[in-house]
Amino acid sequence: MSESLAIVAGIIFVTVAAVNVIVMLEASQHGVQIPYGCRQGLCGTRATRVLSGTVRMDTEDGLTAEQKNAGYVLPCVGRAEGAVVVAA
C-alpha cells in the first residue's frame, strides 16, 4: 500500500503506509497539512481519529480520557505502526 488521501464529505482521509513515521509529517509529504500548535503532544491541537491500523504515541498528555477512549491520537507525535488510516 502506498500513501494516499481522499476527501469524503469534507473529511480528509489519509493513509500512511510507512512504518515508524510521524503521521503529521508523512501527511504533509503528501499534501495534507494537519494543523498543529506545540508539536510536542501537549496542547491537543487537532486530535485526529484513527480509522484503521495502530498509531503509537510518543506522549499523549494532550488528549483527554474521552478522546483516548474514542480512538483519537495526536498526529504531531503519533507514529504509524504499519499502514494506518486517519481522518485528518
Q: How many CA atoms lie less than 13 Å away from 2 in the CB half-sphere?
A: 2
Using CB under 6 A, pick the residue from 5, 17, 44, 67 that binds ligand FES. 44
Minimum CB distance to ligand FES, residue 38 (Å): 4
Minimum CB distance to ligand FES, residue 2 (Å): 25
Using CB under 6 A, pick the residue from 45, 53, 57, 82 that binds ligand FES. 45
Contacts of 78 (CB under 8 A, 6+ apart): 22, 23, 24, 48, 55, 56, 57, 58
Residues at the interface with ligand FES (CB under 6 A): 36-39, 41-45, 62, 74, 76
